[in-house]
Amino acid sequence: MPLSLARSAGAQLYQLDDAGHVTNLTFTMSCNCSISPEVSADGEDDSPMIRQQSGCMVCGAPLDYDRVFSRQQCCFCGRHFEASECCEQGHYVCDACHSEDALAVIETMCRHSRETDMLALFSQLRQHPSVPLHGPEYHALVPAVILTCYRNIGGKLGDSLLNAALSRGSQVIGGSCAYSGVCGAAIGVGIAFSLILEANPLKADQRQVVQNVVQQVLKELAQFKAARCCNRDGVVSLQKAAELSADFLPVPLRAEQWLPCDQHVRNNECLGAQCPLF
């Protein structure tokens, strides 16, 4: 390169002497330090948490339940809630964060599914890594399964009803089976039947049917003297929903595919041989 052109480039081009030293710039001692992209400026680790499938969603430790609510901070969103549970290490995850990823997966899979057997679709959804072993996700999963299979088997269903089912189901608090005395799976059946039958608080016939359905599903679940198991309660609820659909729905539902339990090793509170799925 001609010397005149090199000089015209100024600091954009290093000019070297015979020893290889830069002659057109002055350097001072410095470092090339920077903050790791995984660590924020305040020193907190911002890398994504790996969600555990069982126990605490943060660390996998067993959960502790209290009789009364106390102020807890969600480890994922940072918001504060009045809640009665956290893990042995003090971690708390709110219902919204616990369910967020799973609800998106449930909606997508159900919207595109052509499955007509509720137990088969229930199993497919449970196999997705975003759906944990237990949690409030199942309160929305159960009605989503019912509506999807009802649509696929020939029932008339509006496009917006799946979202309505997910919205209603996600409002049922975690632990409702014990805290409110009504399992979220039973409520999920009620939500689905309500949407199919277009029930509302002013329609006497539909209101009675929906309450009767929930009552009968809950009676089945209450026969088990056992800690919560979302797999067991979901399967039993869907089987009862299929039975009741013959009397109450325009198109009967199917729950015929038998799927033995695949999680008893991971479920510390498993009922064992007394469980119908074991």
At residue 63, φ and ψ (nearest 5 deg) are -90, 145
pTM value is 0.71
Q: pLDDT-based confidence at 2, cuts 50/70/90?
A: low
Give pLDDT tens digits for 248-259.
Answer: 999 999 999 987
Angle among Cα 213, 216, 222 to the nearest 5 degrees reads 135
State the DSSP code for 45.
B
Each residue's pLDDT tens digit, 152-172 = 999 999 889 999 999 999 999
For the cut 60, the answer to whether the pLDDT of residue 4 exceeds it is: no
Instruction: Tell me the CA distances in angstroms from 109 to 15, 71, 129, 153, one per residue in order.
Output: 62, 35, 13, 16
CA distance linking residue 278 with residue 272, whole number of Å: 6
Phi, psi of 272 (to 5 degrees): 75, -140
Q: What is the pLDDT of residue 137?
A: 94
Residue 1 has pLDDT above 90, yes or no: no
